[in-house]
Structure 1
Amino acid sequence: MAEAESIQRLYGVPHSLYTGVARCYLRTQGIPYEELPTAHPDFQERILPVTRRSIIPVLETPEGDVIQDSLDIIDHFEARGVPYSAYPDSALQRVLAIIIQYYGSQSMLKHAMHYRWTYRTQQEEFLRDAFAAGAGEELADRIMSRMNSYLPRLGVTEHTVAEIEASYFQLLDTLNVHFRKHPYLFGGRPSVGDYGLIGPLFAHLGRDPVPCDIMKVRAPRVYRWVERMTAPGLDTPEFQGYGSEFLPGDEIPETLVPLLEQIADEIFPELTDKFVFLDDLIETHRPEDGQPVSDKPHQRYVGLVDTQFRGMPMQSGVEPYLVYILRRADQVLASVSQTEQQAVRAFLETYRLADALPGNRGYSVDRRNQIEVWER
């Protein structure tokens, strides 16, 4: 048993999308941790003064370091070495894993929040119990109402609901086929793509009663993957002899192609429109290197764009954080040979994903002192 002082502290709640990502990663890697709710006094006294905003998950290391954001928590441990690295060695798999991570952690907020709040009446007791357990009875209603109010800026409206649900069914069908043949997206261990998808597919869609029932009935192999992702280590008894490595030779399984096609259909033109918005913002305001992306730490949206989801018009909030995620794909390409770069770019062009990479725009987004800032 690990000594108490070597245990990581994870601040979050069971129904949190991003806490679920960090929790799955810690369990897969066998990293001892203790999970504490935001109502814990240490969160108020020690964590908030550092993060300067009420955000989860936050990891507090035994050495006293504070790391917020599931992406940064993963990268913190990756840099130190883990049993099952979440980053494939090959360039194409790694770039695609980052794009899928973006899709799961950002684009699928529509699906997650729609099924949680549009069906609130059918799930009221379940949701109320979860929010009260995490924040206390007095704050539960206030937090639930605030979360519900986010739907329009995520593009969840009466015009897009039918397409969001059609997208969820399509995703379940595609992944159900894939997970019959492979335990994870790219082989025998979860990638950052898996961790991106598990956020919405566990905390909301694989846990809240309405979407969870749909998943169990329509796509039992996807539900089994959710169980696998949330279990300790690699929970793969159905795949005896498969191994724990990523597929060799930068192989992309045929069963993954429909997922890539769906991602291309759904992240554009929204992502392109957001890039244009950010380009114009930079050109107009010309922020200095290190300048916060917003006036207040808790403000992550910098505006709204008129765009589309699966052909339906909508508005969507613009978070510079999207650049923080996707620029890592550019960094992968910058680290490999010209020949490898050309092969990856050709694949991305074929599957209409090339424009998911920010490229050289004259700016990027970094995180310094716990806050997102412009990088010039």
Structure 2
Amino acid sequence: MKQVILYGAPHSLYSGKTRSYLRKQGIAYVERTGGARFSSEVVPAIGRGIIPVIELPDGSFVQDTIDILDHFERAGAPVSAYPAGPRQRILAHIAELYAVVGLTRHAMHYRWSYADEQDQFLTDAFSAAGSGDPAAVMARMRSYLPMLGVTPATIPAIEASYIALLDLLQAHFASHPYLFGGQPSLGDYGLLGPLFAHLGRDPVPADIMKRRAPKVFRWVERMNAADADIPEYGDYPATYLPDDGIPTTLEPLYRHMADELFPELTDKVDMVRRFVAQAEPETGSPVTDKPHRRVIGSVQTSFRGVGAESGVQPYIFYLWQRITDTFGTLEANTAACVREWLNGVGLSPLLDAHRPIRVERRGHIEVWGERL
């Protein structure tokens, strides 16, 4: 029987998320890093040169980690990444959003601001990927830093944030193998992307992680194991915590997320509101004029009190609405319980901010949905 093919790369942020999921689910796969077939068949099929991409045994393709994980979830994942408890599920979606909005900045900073110190490691990684001239590819990646809000002014705040995050995760993983107990959730997979491929492998940030937060590095190892891999936790059950339990160690972690998601998300909502009013995009139309283009502009915002410019990706609104869509399915008493917890850590604005338009995924790209 034909195996699943993962088109990815060891140093690719989102490939790490997908690879971890495939291993945890026991899905047989083989990984490829580009190649002639990727260029001649995969790229034309999905409309842009991007990884990860999954080729299914029937020859069809699935692109984007959200779509990939959801494909296998619908097929009946043996270890579902979706917690049944409403609080756990909402928090898993929030961690997934934070990994993209917040940690992409950290991941790219530590990879490219310290490129000279990591030159041999990075050159080897990008040479093995077979995606063209490694020096040119690396230079292009490095050029994205200003649009991600990585500047000399913000770097001290980014590095202080990374240390704070490691300390918070270290405290949590001292008692729990994963975010919500003994089983990885969407939140774990989301955080793993930046915390493995960049921050847990590249020499400079990985050294910081190993020295300061060994339990976080151990979680990175655990997330890459095929089994639960929790021997140090004794008889801790390999399941989500019962009764929708939320460990107290997650409260400061999610306050940290709130501090870094806002005011950036608020500023980006304002920008998208202006964009939609001016452009009046048609429902179903691509969010950008070219499939490889991910941003529709930039916005002046701040990160931990430091002014920064940041590119606006409609994709983050796709992730954000997964939170509000899930919240919208809850009955009143349950919704009130979830809101109370989020309010206590400063995250209730995620539920209330008015977004002017939906973002959907069709044909492997983001498209505009209905106006709100």
TM-score bin (small chain): over 0.9
Selected match of 1:189 from 177, 183, 199 = 183
Q: How many residues align?
A: 370
* Aligned sequence identity (%): 51
Match of 1:8 in 2: 4
1:239 is aligned to 233
Taking the aligned partners of 2:101 and 2:190, their CA distance within structure 1 comes to 9
Per-residue CA deviation, residues 107-153 of structure 1 (Å, 9 max, x unaligned), is 101110111011111100000000000026x5101110000000000
Aligned-pair distance for 1:359? 5.9
2:192 to 191, 198, 208: 198
Instruction: In structure 2, give the amino acid aligned to 1:319.
Output: Q
CA–CA distance in structure 2, aligned partners of residues 64 and 253 of structure 1: 42
| 2:161 aligned residue (149, 167, 170) | 167
CA distance in 2, matches of 1:360, 1:118: 36
What's the CA shift string for 1:12-32, capped at 9, x where partnerless? 110000000000100111110
Asked if 1:75 is matched to 2:34, the reply is: no
The reply to whether residue 345 of structure 1 matches residue 339 of structure 2 is yes
Q: Between 85-94 and 355-364, report the one with greater CA deviation.
A: 355-364
Q: What SS does the corresponding residue of 1:361 show, helix, strand or coil?
A: coil
Structure 1 residue 322 displacement after superposition: 0.5
Match of 2:273 in 1: 279
> Which amino acid in structure 1 is aligned with residue 143 of structure 2?
S
TM-score (norm 1): 0.96
The correspondence of residues 39-188 of structure 1 with structure 2, limited to 5 A, is: 40-135=35-130, 139-188=133-182
Question: Are the equivalent residues in 1 in contact too, given 2:315–2:359 (CA < 8 A)?
Answer: yes
CA distance in 2, matches of 1:281, 1:338: 34
Question: Matches of 1:107 and 1:154 in 2, distance apart?
Answer: 10
Shift of 1:50: 1.2
The amino acid across from 1:342 in the alignment is: A
Tell whether the 8 Å contact from 1:186 to 1:252 is kept in structure 2 after alignment.
yes
Structure 1 residue 346: Cα displacement: 2.0
Give the 3-state SS of the residue equivalent to 1:121 in structure 2: coil
Query: What secondary structure, in the 3-state scheme, does the structure 2 residue paired with 1:184 have?
Result: coil
What residue in structure 2 maps to residue 37 of structure 1? 33
What is the deviation of 1:339? 1.3
Normalization by structure 2: what TM-score? 0.97
1:207 counterpart = 2:201: yes
Q: Which runs of 5+ in 2 are unaligned?
A: none
Cα distance in 2 for partners of 1:51, 1:44 equals: 11
Letter in 1 for 2:163: F
CA deviations over 1:202-233 (Å, ceiling 9, x no partner): 00110000111111010000000000001112
1:299 aligns with 2:293: yes
Indicate conservation of the 8 Å contact 1:327/1:359, yes or no. no
1:224-373 correspondence to structure 2 within 5 Å? 224-357=218-351, 361-373=355-367
Alpha-carbon distance between aligned partners in 2 of 1:173 and 1:371, rounded to the nearest angstrom = 36
Residues 330, 359 of structure 1: 8 Å contact kept: no
* 1:90 to partner: Cα distance: 1.2
- Spell out structure 1 runs of 4+ moving beyond 4 A: none
**Structure 1 spans left out of the alignment, 5+ residues:** none
Query: In the TM superposition, what is the alpha-carbon distance from 1:354 to its structure 2 partner?
Result: 1.5
The alignment partner of 2:307 has SS state of strand
- TM superposition shift of 1:356: 2.4
Counterpart Cα distance in 2 of 1:85 and 1:276? 35
